[in-house]
Amino acid sequence: MDRRVFMRNGALALLAAGFGGVPHFIARAAGNRKILMPYKKNKVLVCIFQRGAMDGLMAVSPYADQNLRIQRPTLYMSPSAKEGGMFDLDGHFGLHPGLAAFAPLYKEGRMAIVHGVGSPNNTRSHFDAQDFMESGTPFNKGTSSGWLNRAVGLLGHKGTPFRAVSLTSAMPRSFYGDNEALAISNLQDFAIQMRGNPMGANLAAKSFEELYDQTSSELLNKTGKESFDALKMLNANTIKNYQPANGVVYPASPLGNSLKQIATLIKMDIGLEVAFAESGGWDTHYNQGTANGILARNLKDFSDSIAAFWKDMDAYQDDVTVMTMTEFGRTVHQNGTGGTDHGRASCLFVLGNDVGGGKVYQNIKGLAKEDLEDGRDLPVTTDFRSVFSAVADHHLRINDDRKLFPEWDGSRLNLMKS
Amino acid sequence: MSWRRMLKCFTVSATLCVASAFTHPTTEFSKHKLRFPYQKMGLTPQQAAAHLLSRFTFGATPGQIDQVVSMGLEKWFQQQLDASLPDDEVNKRLSGYDALSLSNEDIANTYVNQGQIIKLLQKEYQLPKDSLVKDNKELIKSLMKKYGLKPPQELYRQLINQKIIRAAYGNNQLQEVLTNFWFNHFNVSLTKNQCAPYILTYERDAIRPNVLGSFETMLEATAKHPAMLEYLDNASSVSNDNAQSRKQQNKVMARRAEQKMEETMNDPKVSPIVKQALAARKTQGLNENYAREIMELHTLGVDGGYTQHDVTEVARALTGWGIVPLIKDTPGRNFFDAAKRENMEKNGFVFEGDFMFKANKHDENEKVILGQKFPANVGYAEGIRVLHMLADHPSTAKFICKKLAVHFVSDHPSDALVNQMAAVFLQSKGNIKAVLTAMVNSTEFWSKDALREKIKSPFELAISSVRATQADVQQPYQLFLWASKMGEKFYYYQAPTGFPDKASYWINTGSLLSRMNFGLAFATEKIPGIKLNLKALNDNHEPESVDAALVAYSNILLPQRNNEENIKRLTQLIHSDNVEEKINSAASKNKPADAADDDMMSESDKAHRKNENAALSRKNKAFNVSYAMGNNSMIGQVTGVIIGSPEFQRR
């Protein structure tokens, strides 16, 4: 039986279902369906935005700088060989124990850390700084597109609605723009559903498709089209029944859940090129703690989620790069409530087999007061665009930096393997 | 001098002009008569009423457009500005909600958190400190019953439900629409544990009574409310730079305490965690969180002309703004109860409701904020002066008016309109009624470009569905779950920005599919506790065909809209020859679609399918009717499609 005939028969059966439940054979066959998609295997860039501004000085701490000890009387940490202690990266920087899951990746040379990274625009507003980092134009609020949307456009592979997928409930600024992009927090929601009436649901779906096709609202029209295109391609059962490789168990957190779904999409091979996820709770103004506490918990979830994803990727690792980002860092000195306020530079992590890992890339002068911005903050010594463009160039083969980051004429950081 | 008198002395000059605006709002306001230029903009009274209702209510109810036309649009709006219509339906539906009238103190001591429960367990049963809540569930249950304690989730449920009930059934719709708007502007979040217990009273006491009053009053009410003080950490932002602290530090007692502290810190037996907590207390001081957000988000706007230096200075000016200890049987509370308020007031402390200005935690030194000098030793009044300066600032006028215009007119209001509103804002000292009047008197509000231009938020979609169908919501919480699924988990937005108020935030693949699914679930009564009588909306007449239902319910749910095209398109679909194929092509791949599946079928499955197919082809001609009259009511499905349609997403 050819595919078309089956499709029709399937449809008829579904119509029948409207009169008396889902036929048994359909329910059974659904779980076994193989996915065959006409897209060639792509490279995938996974970006994770840490919203709220991660304290880079605690995550990857320049513990050897004595100024830090003075500025942070109760927040200072130093390496310790003890279980749950800080991991010494290179005699100067230490990895927070919450990030223990990163240590093996760093040692294997797959993970690079960039420190002192941030935006040349010195705003300390979360919302402006996130906007600038995601649009990729730190001095222009009017840029309508996000840098990852432009990246997808430069890649130029048409024909699948799944090129850019954000596992968030709202479309991130990075994805704004002319190229198709999807935002959905739970892939299982990819269905028009009416309980006990699948036939009615199908008719409703087709009705919606017609209505969204003709609405005068551009946004509703465009999003509707993207949704129905995607709907037709995705097998919600595959999502539901997904089993990670190597017995990996993802943390039951929003980030863990997002990365698990990204892994599903990568393995379904439906043309994913850029994926986006978020992690929240980094705005630690109050009692951020040290080896334990809010920040430690966030770091643990963050690194455990990424490490689980990496292990799950297994055979796909050569095609995947993970890059994290956060809008700015936090004050060098601790504030009066056991936390830190908005600062300037922070650090980020890049993970992949083509990453020149096992190294902290940095240009930090030191934490003496005269070396700080406004006498208080770690200055930005590496422009975030020099990292983003290096990853885009090497991993995705996008080398038109002027289009990816208009207004920028800096050079790429040399952190990928040549 | 009592704090009231002191407050008067310090702030009388600063607030003189504002006070006059309060006491004579009508004189100020009478300059701004309501005169709606919709005819000039080419709208019929019906079209204009539909537009007015789409912006200042959570959706028109059936027949409401005609009611507003016959009473007069201006008169209806004036009634909404007055916000004094009786609300019997709301009161009836809220009668079982016992948390809504509680004080912060009642709430803090009734809806207890885990820490309080553990403490109680220790006290009652002498259980060890590390005994876990989950190991003692039964004990906890009986304890909570004995003391009349309740879980916080119950408080949040009442908070969430009351919002839904007021929005769906309230007569003073503008007040509720504005409560939603201003709460989001001065956002606080249930995601922050310290602030969560006070959000109910925050909305009730700081927001709702002020939404049609003076902006400055609302700003001050939010600044002093425990919810905001906790949410943006100002309650813990303190300074010892004042005479009282210096005096205390010289005392023998204080010196002894210091000595004791030093001993503890050097004691190897004391755990590092305790040491760290002690050390943290010693380094108590400034927290910039609130100072930055009050300027960036509540008043001036991010480009409103302040610097990092201003942020730090405002934070210093607001040190000592805190909360009276609300939880009973804590060291802080016992100490507070033992102290005499009069004595504290003599020392510059100020009490107002649950707000407490702690003079001994305030930075007394001089400050310079936005270029203005704030002299030393002013105490509480200094913060009041900062709030006044911010509320009255031209940047604030512009920032607030733009936000209002974006919410009520269009996602991209003209500069001309914003400037016009901002001028009224400044001239009326932030009188919100006057600003709204200027907005709705403008031609831009009634321009064809503004009509249907806004996309409903998920909450607005859910509530407008209830209102349009006159649904009986017996389980309001179900609508909260749906709104969350559609992208608006209200009261839980973590960042102080509140939800972005623009269409591109609300509309994306996931949320759009959820909106469609909401429409279907809602209209076919698949949402528990929500009852519809769709036939009643059509004068108890049951349409004889799908086509007739489409026409009837499009016009009931989307009055004053051009529904022709949509009806035509759907009618064509239903009557097309290859309707099944079309339907299938729209379906998700949640079903088998592969020839390979055929091999997996048993013989009996195959036979079964053959029979089904034969039966279907017989019934195929009658497809439309049989689909429609199947398990679900046809009217429900048609209504569901309309609610999920693009036109219903617009307002």
Mean pLDDT across chain A: 88
pLDDT value, residue B276 = 60
The mean pLDDT of A124-150, rounded to a whole number, is: 94
Q: Between A333 and B257, where is the model more confident? A: A333
Q: How far is B578 from chain A (nearest CA, A)?
A: 10
Report percent pLDDT > 70 for chain B: 83
* Least confident residue range of A199-213, B79-93, B211-225, B630-644: B630-644
Q: How far is A6 from chain B (nearest CA, A)?
A: 6
Interchain proximity A6–B631, CB inside 8 Å: no
Closest CB to A223 among B289, B512, B586: B512
Provide the shortest C-alpha distance from residue B214 to chain A (in Å): 27
β-pairing, A111-118 vs A382-383, is: parallel
Instruction: Nearest by CB to A220, from B292, B507, B602: name it.
Output: B507
Task: Please indicate if any CB of chain B lies within 8 Å of the CB of A188.
Answer: no
Give the number of C-alpha atoms closer than 13 A to the C-alpha of residue B91, restricted to the C-beta side: 6
Contact A23 B605 (CB under 8 A): yes
Q: Residue A244 above 70 pLDDT?
A: yes
pLDDT tens for B186-205 read: 999 999 999 999 999 999 99
Best CA proximity match to A26, nearest among A212, A199, A151: A199
Interface size between A and B, measured as CB pairs under 8 A? 323
Residues of B in Cβ contact (< 8 Å) with A227:
509, 512-513
Q: What is the pLDDT of residue B25?
A: 43
- The pLDDT score that the predictor gives to residue B608 is 55
Backbone angles phi, psi at A117, to 5 degrees: -95, 150
Looking at chain B, which residue has its C-alpha nearest residue A232?
B588
Lowest mean pLDDT among A294-303, B87-96, B584-593: B584-593
Structure tokens at B335: 């100490």
Residue A226 in this model has a pLDDT that exceeds 60 = yes
Average pLDDT estimate for A314-329:
97
Per-residue pLDDT at A141: 86
Question: Does A40 contact B at CB distance below 8 Å?
Answer: no
Q: What is the pLDDT of residues B518-536, one digit of tens each?
A: 999 999 999 999 999 999 9
Which range of A191-195, B19-23, B245-249, B508-512 scores highest in mean pLDDT? It is: B508-512
- Identify the residue whose tokens are 């809010």: A294
Give the gap in angstroms from C-alpha A403 to the nearest C-alpha of chain B: 24
Whether the per-residue pLDDT at B614 is higher than 60: the answer is: no
H-state helical runs in B359-476: 380-391, 394-408, 415-427, 432-440, 458-469
> Residue B281: which pLDDT band, with cuts at 50, 70 and 90?
low
Predicted local confidence at residue B437, as pLDDT: 98
Angle (CA) B488 B517 B49, round 5°: 70
ipTM higher than the 0.85 cut: no
Q: Do B591 and A207 touch (CB under 8 A)?
A: no
In Å, what is the CA distance from A113 to each residue of A47, A79, A110, A266, A324?
15, 17, 10, 25, 10
Domains of chain A in sequence order? 41-190+236-404 (3.40.720)
Residue B611's pLDDT is: 55
* Predicted pLDDT of residue B138: 85
Task: Assess whether pLDDT exceeds 50 at residue A28.
Answer: no
pLDDT at res. B428: 97
Residues of A in contact with B591 (CB under 8 A): 10, 14, 26, 30, 198
- The 10s digit of each residue's pLDDT in B125-177 is 877 766 666 777 888 888 899 999 999 999 999 999 999 999 999 999 999 99
Q: Would you say residue A13 has pLDDT above 60?
A: no
Tell me which of A212, A294, A295, A341 to substitute to probe the interface with B (most B C-beta atoms closer than 10 Å).
A341
Residue A27 contacts B, CB cutoff 8 Å:
no
Q: What are phi and psi of B252, to 5 degrees?
A: -60, -40
Residue A95 β-bridge partners: A60, A87
Structure tokens at A81: 């060989």
Does residue A286 sit at the B interface (CB-CB below 8 Å)? yes
How far is Cα A95 from Cα A290, in angstroms, rounded to an integer? 12
**Hey, which residues 77-116 in chain A have their CB within 8 Å of chain B?**
none
Query: Inter-chain contact A337–B287, Cβ cutoff 8 Å?
Result: yes
* Lowest-confidence segment of A7-21, A235-249, A263-277, B570-584 by average pLDDT: A7-21
Give contacts of A 206-235 with B, CB under 8 A.
Answer: 206-212, 214-215, 217, 219-221, 223-224, 226-228, 230-235
- Is residue A120 a contact partner of residue A390, using CB atoms and an 8 Å limit? no
The predicted pLDDT at position A386 comes to: 97
The pLDDT of residue A11: 35
Q: Is A12 on the interface with B (CB under 8 A)?
A: yes
Residue B569: is its pLDDT beyond 60? Answer: yes
Least CA distance to B194: which residue of chain A? A286
Q: Is B470 left (phi over 0), alpha (psi -120 to 50) or beta?
A: left
Q: Which residue has the higher pLDDT, B498 or A197?
A: B498
Say if residue B63's pLDDT is above 70: yes
Q: Does A241 touch chain B (CB under 8 A)?
A: no
Given an 8 Å threshold on Cβ–Cβ distance, is B526 in contact with A123? no
Chain A CB contacts of B305 below 8 Å: none
Asked if the Cβ–Cβ distance from B609 to A9 is below 8 Å, we say yes
The per-residue pLDDT for B290 is 97
Instruction: Determine whether the interchain pair A209/B586 forms a contact, defined as Cβ–Cβ distance below 8 Å.
Output: yes
The answer to whether residue A249 scores a pLDDT higher than 60 is yes
Closest residue in B to A240 (Cα) is B590
Residue pLDDT, tens place only, B260-275: 777 777 777 776 666 6
What pLDDT shows up at residue B586?
A: 60
Contacts of A131 in chain B (CB under 8 A): none
Among A28-32, B204-208, B345-349, B423-427, name the one with the lowest average pLDDT: A28-32
Residue A189 confidence (pLDDT): 83
- Whether residues B588 and A231 touch (CB distance < 8 A) is answered with yes
Give the mean model confidence (pLDDT) for residues B341-363.
95
Closest-CA distance of chain A to residue B252, Å: 25
Contact of B401 with B418, CB cutoff 8 Å? yes
Task: Please check whether residue A182 is in contact with residue B508, taking contact to mean a CB–CB distance below 8 angstroms.
Answer: yes
How far off is chain B from A394, nearest CA to CA, in Å? 30
A317 HSE (CA, 13 A, CB side) = 18
CB contact under 8 A, A337 and B284: yes
Q: Where are the domains of chain B?
A: 91-171+178-202, 235-375, 458-588+596-649
Give percent of chain B with pLDDT exceeding 90: 69
Q: A391 pLDDT band (50/70/90 cuts)?
A: very high
Calpha distance B240→B257 (Å, rounded): 16
- Beta-bridged to residue A322, according to DSSP, are A46, A351
Query: CA-to-CA distance for A196 and A211, rounded, in angstroms?
Result: 24
